[in-house]
Structure 1
Amino acid sequence: MPARALRLVSLALLVTAAPACVKHSSTPMTGKVEVPLSDRRIGQYISSGWSFDTSSFWIEGPEGVVVIDVQFLPSVAAEVIAAAERVTRKKVVAAIVLHANPDKFNGTATFQARGIEVWTAEQVLALIPEVFARRTEAFAERYAPDWPTAVPQPKSFGAATTTLKLAGLELKAHVLGPGCSAAHVVIEWEDHVFVGDLVANQAHAWLEIGETDAWLQRLSEIEAMTPRHVHPGRGRSAGPELLTAQREYLQTVIDLVKAEKPTTPPEPAAVLRVRAELERKYEGYRFPVFLEIGLPAVWRRLAQANPPASASANEGDQPAGSNPTSQP
C-alpha cells in the first residue's frame, strides 16, 4: 500500500471506538502504532531508535490475533501485545519469528509467558542459540535488565513451506534460504507479504553475512508471490515498489564493491569510499552504522567469488560477520 495510505492511529480513539471484548492493559507505548486505512485487520508497531526502529505486525483473525516478529527487547514485546489487543479488542494467540536476528526473536519468552505460542522454521530455530550468544555478549550489559535471561526458544513448524492455521487464519509460511540471515520465513496472506529485514523502507540493509546474490534471489521469490502489500522489517509498509527499491539498493552495493576490485583482506580506505557513496546516494536512510560490518562482509564474499590468480587457497577464510556492538 502506498505510504500515504498509512496514518498514525490514536490508540485512545481506537479503544473508545472498538467493542469491549478484551480488557486492555495499561502498558505504556514507547514506539508508534499504525494501522493501514485500506485494511484495518493489519497493524504495525514500530519501536523507538533505542531498539532499532524495529517493526512488528499483527493480523486480526476471527479467533484472535497473530503477531509477526516479537521485537528486540522484552519490554517492547509486551508493548506489541498490548497495542495489538487494544486496537483489535482480541487476544494475541500466536506469533511468528521470520529470521534469526534478536530484533525478531528476543521477545519470545514474553509472548510465551502469556500463553502465546511462538513459531518459526526449523532452519531459523537452529540458528538462534549461536546468534543469541554473540548478541548477548555485545548487548546484554547495555540493555540490562531489559534483555532475555535464556536463549529464546520458539516452536518449529518444520523445515518446509507450509500453511499455518492460526487465529482462524490460513497463513502460508515460505521457508527461504540466505539473505540478510542464513534462513528466512516469509509470511504470505491474501495479497500481503511479511518479509522481515529482507526489505527495509528508507533504511540501510543488514548485510552482516554478505550474501547479496542470494538476497536478490529471495527478492525474486517474493516477487513471484505477486503481493500488493509489502510489510518490511524497518520502515512503513507499502507496495511492491519496496521490492524494486531493495533490489536496486543491493545491486548498487554489489556494483560499488566490484568497482573497487576487491581482494582479501578488505582495504579500509576502499570500504570507506563505498560507504560514503552509499550514504550520498541514499541520503536520509536510517542506520548507516549497519554498513560498518555489512560492507566488509560483502567485500569478502565478492573477493572470494573472484579471487586473483595468485590468491592462496586459504586467503579470505574469515567469517562474514563479527561481533557487532551497535547493530541488532
Structure 2
Amino acid sequence: MLHTFTSDAAGFDTHSFYYDTGREVVVFDAQFTEPLAQALVEDIRTHTDSPIRYVVITHPNPDKFNGVGPLRAAGATVVASEATAAAIPGVHAYKRAAFIGNGTFTEDSYPPEATVDLTFRDSLRLELLGDATVELQVLENAGVSSTQTVAHIPAAEALIVGDLVHHGAHAWLEGGIVDGAPRPDLSAWAAALDELRAWGTSRCTAVAARRRRSRTRSSPSRTTWSASTGSSATTWPASTTRARSPARRPRSTTRRSPRPRGPPSRSASSTT
C-alpha cells in the first residue's frame, strides 16, 4: 500500500510517500526538518509495524534530505543517486545561510547536513521482502533541480517524481544550486516531463510532490500523464492514505530560498 504524509506550511506542504509491502517500508523524501521527519516516522507506525528499510532522496533540495536523521535512527538506509549525494553539501550550505540570514533558523537550530548510505549512478532496483520491487532511475534532464531521480513502483502502478509535478499549483522553478547560485532551466523541466512518458505504453501515473493550500483541504492527488498526448488528469486511489503533520517551525515573511539544478553524471553501473 502507498501512503502519503504531508507537512504543514512550515515544511512547504511537502509530501513524503511511503510504500508498505506488508513486510517492510520504503520512504520517498525525508521532509524539511528533523521534527517533521519524526512526525513522518510516527505516522508510519500508526499504519504498519513493518520495518523502515530505505528512504530515497529524489533530488537535492532541503525539504527532501534535511530530515534523514530520524529515519536513519528508525533503521532506514538512506539512498540517493551519486549526483544527488554530491550536490547535498553545496545546497545545504547555501540554504543554511539563507534561512539563518532571514531569521527562520539560528546557527544551532538549522538541520545538520544530510549524508547518504547507498549511492547509485544511473539506476538501482530495490528488491523488497513481500515480493515487491522499487525501480530508481536518474533522468537525463535535471528537471527543477540539479538532478532528478524518479521511483517506479510496479505493484502500485505509481511513479514518484519529486517536485516535477504538483497538484493544483505550478512547479517551483527557481532551479538548482550550482556553484553557490540558483540556475533555473525551464527547458530542463519540460524535457524531464517528456521523459516520464517512458513509463507505460499508454499512460503513466505520477504522484504529485505537493499540493496547493486552500481553505478547504483537498486530498493530495495523482497526476495521470498520458504518454501519447502529454495531457493529464488527477485522481487519488482509495488504497492510498494520507496524514497531515502537526509539527511547525517559526513562520518567516521571506519566501522560500532558491533550489538546486545541474546535469547528473550518467552510467549504466551502480555503486555503493
What TM-score does the superposition give when structure 2 sets the normalisation length? 0.71
- Match for residue 50 of structure 1? 10
Q: What is the distance in 1 between the residues matched to 2:59 and 2:77?
A: 16
Kindly tell me: are residues 96 and 167 of structure 1, through their superposed partners in 2, closer, same or farther at Cα, counting changes over 3 Å? Answer: farther
* Displacement after TM superposition at 1:57 (Å): 0.4
Q: What is the distance in 2 between the residues matched to 1:222 and 1:126?
A: 24
| Partner SS, residue 57 of structure 1 | strand
Say which structure, 1 or 2, has more relative contact order (CA 8 Å, 6+ apart): 2
- Match for residue 223 of structure 1? 197
**Aligned ranges 1:110-129 → 2 under 5 Å:** 110-129=70-89
Q: What is the distance in 1 between the residues matched to 2:185 and 2:118?
A: 24
Q: Render the CA deviation track for 1:214-273: whole Å, top value 9, x for unaligned.
A: 211111111220254321211222241497469xxxxxxxxxxxxxxxxxxxxxxxxxxx
Q: What is the distance in 1 between the residues matched to 2:15 and 2:8?
A: 10
- Match for residue 259 of structure 1? none
Kindly tell me: are residues 146 and 65 of structure 1, through their superposed partners in 2, closer, same or farther at Cα, counting changes over 3 Å? Answer: farther
Q: What is the distance in 1 between the residues matched to 2:82 and 2:94?
A: 20
Which residue type is aligned with residue 153 of structure 1?
T
- Match for residue 20 of structure 1? none
Kindly tell me: are residues 89 and 195 of structure 1, through their superposed partners in 2, closer, same or farther at Cα, counting changes over 3 Å? Answer: same
Q: Render the CA deviation track for 1:41-94: whole Å, top value 9, x for unaligned.
A: 011111000110000000011321111100001000011111112112322221
Larger radius of gyration: 1
CA contact (8 A) 1:65 1:167 kept: no
Q: What is the distance in 2 between the residues matched to 1:63 and 1:189?
A: 15
- Match for residue 266 of structure 1? none
**Aligned ranges 1:35-114 → 2 under 5 Å:** 41-114=1-74
| Partner SS, residue 191 of structure 2 | helix
CA contact (8 A) 1:125 1:153 kept: yes
Q: Does 1:182 align with 2:146?
A: yes
- Match for residue 199 of structure 1? 165
CA contact (8 A) 1:51 1:73 kept: yes
Which residue type is aligned with residue 207 of structure 2?
H
The structure whose residues are more often helix, as a share, is: 1
| Partner SS, residue 162 of structure 2 | strand
CA contact (8 A) 2:205 2:223 kept: yes
Which residue type is aligned with residue 192 of structure 1?
A
* Displacement after TM superposition at 1:293 (Å): 6.3
Structure 2: runs of 5 or more not aligned: 176-183, 212-219, 234-254, 261-272
- Match for residue 123 of structure 2? 161
Match of 1:142 among 99, 104, 118: 104
Which residue type is aligned with residue 208 of structure 2?
P
Kindly tell me: are residues 146 and 90 of structure 1, through their superposed partners in 2, closer, same or farther at Cα, counting changes over 3 Å? Answer: farther
CA contact (8 A) 1:67 1:96 kept: yes
CA contact (8 A) 2:205 2:225 kept: no
Q: What is the distance in 2 between the residues matched to 1:107 and 1:244?
A: 34
**Aligned ranges 1:22-33 → 2 under 5 Å:** none
* Displacement after TM superposition at 1:156 (Å): 3.4
Match of 1:237 among 206, 217, 221: 221
Kindly tell me: are residues 167 and 68 of structure 1, through their superposed partners in 2, closer, same or farther at Cα, counting changes over 3 Å? Answer: farther
Match of 1:152 among 104, 109, 114: 114
**Root-mean-square deviation (Å):** 2.6
Q: What is the distance in 2 between the residues matched to 1:181 and 1:156?
A: 20
What TM-score does the superposition give when structure 1 sets the normalisation length? 0.59
Q: How many equivalent residue pairs? A: 212
* Displacement after TM superposition at 1:114 (Å): 2.4
CA contact (8 A) 1:230 1:237 kept: no
Query: Percentage identity across aligned positions?
Result: 28
Q: What is the distance in 1 between the residues matched to 2:169 and 2:109?
A: 25
Q: What is the distance in 1 between the residues matched to 2:194 and 2:49?
A: 37
CA contact (8 A) 1:73 1:146 kept: no
Structure 1: runs of 5 or more not aligned: 1-40, 247-288, 298-328
